[in-house]
Structure 1
Amino acid sequence: MSTETWTLDATDGGQLAVRTDVAGRASKMGHRLTIAMTSWTASVEWSGDTPTAVTLTAEVTSLEVVHGEGGLTPLIGPEKIVAKANALKSFDADRFPSIRFRSAKITAVDAGFQLAGTAEIHGVSREITVDVNVIDLGDRWHIGSETTVRQSDYKITPYSQMFGAMKVVDEVTVTFDADYRKS
């Protein structure tokens, strides 16, 4: 049986992103953000047609605020810089510079695979299950995933201001999209 390792990263056009929402009495003032991790690497080990291990590492300091919806004013350069600084502070990026995922069990499902493993965020390791969709596009495979993560599960205090009248919702959505070219 042949073995193979796929390596995916942001340079291949893949994206690892976090989408936030806002809550509180003054939530109309806040932006729902899309934050992209611009430095990440995923590795998929295969035995024949079966993935046997998946790992992903993202560098927290590589985060960039790429989009913001809502708010009283458009999210432009200076506001993006402030939002990035707030996110880096929430992540405590100096102490916890990386986010990691390592699969422990991979199960084939209709649309692709279900990965059960450990996510390490902010120095806290927790078991997590992630559904990964895999689509054959002929010359390449498209891999996509969307999962919800609760910041407080990883001892991250969601950003807030105005004494909590405007705050980031505890649950954020993590998305992953990448293509792997067939040989």
Structure 2
Amino acid sequence: MSSSPVWNLDASDGRLLVHTGVTGRAAKMGHRLTIAMTTWLATVRWSGGEPVEAELTVEVESLQVVKGEGGLKSLSGPEKVLARSNALGVLDAQRFPQIRFLANDIDKSDDGYLLTGTLEIHGVAQEREIGLRVEDLGETWRLSCQADVRQSEFGVKPYSMMFGSMKVVDSVTVSFTAERTKEG
């Protein structure tokens, strides 16, 4: 990869999505949500042609419910608004306005890089390893990764209703895809 001292990527360069599941006796009534985080910044610092540090900061308030699959009927506009409000409440967005991942150990892998660092959600920090895939598309690099995050490990109680007979699955899947134009 060609290098420059710092790469900055944001929502104009790609997508950061959260995919939820639903469980419980009344799970068939609920929707599996696709949530877009619409305000984020990824910064990659380079040295000697290799990435040495990567940081991702996500604004929790930017959470938008994109779609819902399953359920007894389609997810309506007002239900998307309610689902967003519930998610912001569960994440306590007022108190914890950002989610951060700081990788200060980056190693090459077969298809990209292994990023090791600290993920902070809801004021709780934990060490994580994330495999970042890098694809050469000719004019651009495509960066992508997917990671499962267990909400309860970060002090987040998954949303539930009807006395727990329908609730969001504790483990959510986060996916990231971005493209970066090659330089000179």
TM-score with structure 1 setting the length: 0.97
Structure 2: segments with no counterpart, 5+ residues: none
What is the alpha-carbon distance in structure 2 between the residues aligned to residue 169 and residue 59 of structure 1? 22
Identity across the alignment (%): 55
- Unaligned regions of 5+ residues in structure 1, if any? none
Aligned to 2:113: 113
What corresponds to 2:5 in structure 1?
4
How many angstroms apart in 2 are the aligned matches of 1:158 and 1:96? 16
- What is the rounded CA distance, in whole Å, between the counterparts of 1:29 and 1:85 in structure 2? 19
**Cα distance in 2 between the residues matched to 1:32 and 1:92:** 21
Q: Which residue of 2 aligns with 1:24?
A: 24
Query: 1:3, 1:48 within 8 Å by CA — same for their partners in 2?
Result: no
TM-superposed CA distance for 1:3, in Å, is 4.9
Query: Residue type matched to 1:49 in 2?
Result: G
The TM-score, its normalising length taken from structure 2, stands at 0.96
What is the correspondence of 1:172-183 to structure 2 with a 5 Å cutoff? 172-183=172-183
Q: Note the alpha carbon deviations across 1:56-104, whole angstroms, 9 max, x for none.
A: 0000000000011000110121110000000000000000000001012
- 1:58-69 → structure 2 map (5 Å cutoff): 58-69=58-69
Distance between the aligned counterparts of 1:3 and 1:44, measured in 2? 10
**C-alpha distance in 2, partners of 1:181/1:48?**
19
4+ residue stretches of structure 1 with deviation over 3 A?
none
1:88 corresponds to? 88
Q: Which residue of 2 aligns with 1:153?
A: 153
Tell me the secondary structure at the aligned position of residue 152 of structure 1.
Answer: helix
What is the rounded CA distance, in whole Å, between the counterparts of 1:181 and 1:172 in structure 2? 30
Secondary structure at the aligned position of 1:132 is classed as strand
| Superposed displacement of residue 4, structure 1 | 1.7
The residue number in structure 1 matching 2:139 is 139
Once the two structures are TM-superposed, the CA of residue 48 in structure 1 deviates from its matched residue by 3.0
Taking the aligned partners of 1:135 and 1:178, their CA distance within structure 2 comes to 11
The number of residues matched between the two structures is 181
- Code of the residue aligned with 2:5 in structure 1: it is E
| 1:49 CA displacement | 2.8
- Quote the Cα distance in structure 2 between the aligned partners of 1:60 and 1:3: 29
Helix, strand or coil at the partner of 1:79: helix
Counterpart AA for 1:164: G
